[in-house]
Amino acid sequence: MKSALFVWGGWEGHQPKQCVDIFAPYLEAQGYQVEIYNTLDVYLDKEKMSALSLVVPIWTMGTITKEQEKGLLEAVKSGVGIAGWHGGMADAFRNNTEYQFMVGGQWVAHPGNITDYEVNIIDHDDPITAGLPDFKMHSEQYYMHVDPSNKVLATTRFGGQTAPWIEGTVMPVVWKRQWGQGRVFYCSLGHAAKDLEVPEAREIVNRGMLWASR
């Protein structure tokens, strides 16, 4: 049986527990054994971590100890998958560059705060995005520093209303990558739990979790 670990906490503005309540039942319906923790100390349990199929981190900002970070990164490097979204994965632990290296990107801004924008699917053959159309979002549009080794599956284009110097910039929204033997999936959507109820956004995260799982 596949097993998934949700670890939630950090800044409450991203509604981490509400997001767990959206996606944990989905994985259970797919036959996963799901465990949910609201402490980073679970990363210290090497036996538990090494036996997982998937980690779903939902922890914006905050701090992580060197030992906790090592436990997570070593598990992924050994083949445990990791999948997440928005600040719960790519705006966590701002001082930990090795963690950011694993994720493949880091949030730096959301010009205009809540705004209307379009997500463009650029890979129509990948199992995470196959068959999905471009779609609209009304939420934060993440401007990110991104690893060029990522395989990008969807993008968004920035206007220049708030920051004219970035007008026309095409920014990755969904990507996947490897970290050692582990698969890494990330989606920048999901400022609030309701954003992840947009059908296309929710389907991308669902598929991304399944793809990342060992």
- Number of structural domains found in the chain: 1
CA–CA distance, 20 with 167 (Å, rounded to integer): 35
Single-letter amino acid code for the residue at 4: A
Q: How confident is the model at residue 151 (pLDDT cuts 50, 70, 90)?
A: very high
What's the CA dihedral at 125, 129, 134, 138 to 10 degrees? Answer: -160
Q: Can you give the pLDDT at residue 24?
A: 98
| Non-local CB neighbours of 22 within 8 Å, separated by 6+ positions | 193, 196, 197, 202
CATH number for the domain harbouring residue 167: 3.40.50.880
Mean pLDDT across the chain = 97
- pLDDT digit string, tens, across residues 5-38: 999 999 999 999 999 999 999 999 999 999 999 9
Is the Cβ–Cβ distance between 169 and 117 less than 8 Å? no
- CA-closest candidate to residue 3, choices 35, 36, 25, 37: 35
Give the gyration radius of the chain's Cα atoms: 16
- pLDDT digit string, tens, across residues 101-119: 999 999 999 999 999 999 9
CA–CA distance, 52 with 7 (Å, rounded to integer): 13
User: In the predicted model, is pLDDT for residue 124 greater than 90?
Assistant: yes
Q: How many Cα atoms occupy the beta-carbon half-sphere of 106 within 13 Å? A: 13
How much is the average pLDDT of 48-54?
Answer: 98
| Strand extents, DSSP E, 61-204 | 81-85, 105-109, 114-121, 135-140, 143-146, 151-157, 170-179, 182-187
User: In the predicted model, is pLDDT for residue 160 greater than 90?
Assistant: no
How much is the average pLDDT of 63-79?
Answer: 98
Q: Residue 144 is part of which domain span? A: 3-212
Report field, pTM of the whole predicted structure over 0.85: yes
- pLDDT digit string, tens, across residues 180-206: 999 999 999 999 999 999 999 999 999
